[in-house]
Amino acid sequence: MPDKRAEFIATCDVKLRLVRVEADLTQEEMAYALGISKKTLVDIEKGRRTLGWTGSVALCAVFPSSEVIASAFGGHPSEMIPALARTDQIPQRESGGNPWWETIADNGQFIIEQNLISQHYRLLTHDRTKVAASFDIDDLVPLFHGQPKE
């Protein structure tokens, strides 16, 4: 299984065109925004080249409001990028599913997941709507059990 940094780059490569379309940019405008040539951009969009680490970080930094990026990573990767920059020794997922999140608890109504890089938690409904997020799981437990936040 490829390391998390390689997965991050591959995800950015695949989502590049969708981010461009979402931002309503031409290939020329997108290439300029990322600091690459139009030919390089076309090659990446066609799967012949890769953004690489620097280009992937630039994509996320230049388009911080992108729903495409947020959807691909289960939230904006601003917390993942520093962790990926420091080490390739991010824990690997044993099974399928989102490679960035591990399910901690599931009560049939809500799911608590933990981000494997930033270590923060999120509370989701079963239709994957985010209800809350915190670095402290104790903040989410009352909501998980159907109790209102104090």
For 43-99, write each residue's pLDDT tens digit: 999 999 999 999 999 999 999 999 999 888 878 888 778 878 875 444 444 444 566
Q: How far apart are CA 8 and CA 78, in angstroms?
A: 12
Length of the chain: 150
**Residue 145 DSSP class:** T
78/116 same-domain check = no
Confidence check: pLDDT of 19 > 60: yes
Is the residue at 63 inside a domain?
A: yes
Confidence check: pLDDT of 1 > 50: no
Strands (E), the chain: 101-106, 110-115, 121-125, 130-134
Q: How far apart are CA 94 and CA 9, in angstroms?
A: 20
- Choosing from 62, 86, 110, the residue where a domain stops is 86
CATH number of the domain at 34, please.
1.10.260.40
Q: How confident is the model at residue 4 (pLDDT cuts 50, 70, 90)?
A: confident
Range of the domain at 18: 4-86
Q: How confident is the model at residue 2 (pLDDT cuts 50, 70, 90)?
A: very low
23/80 same-domain check = yes
17/74 same-domain check = yes
pTM of the predicted model as reported, rounded to 2 decimal places = 0.62
**pLDDT tens digits, 120-144:** 788 889 888 888 887 788 888 898 8
pLDDT number for residue 97:
58
Sequence-distant (≥ 6) Cβ neighbours of residue 114 within 8 angstroms? 101, 102, 104, 120, 121, 137
Output the CA angle 54-60-63, nearest 5 degrees.
Answer: 130
Mean of the per-residue pLDDT values for the chain? Answer: 84
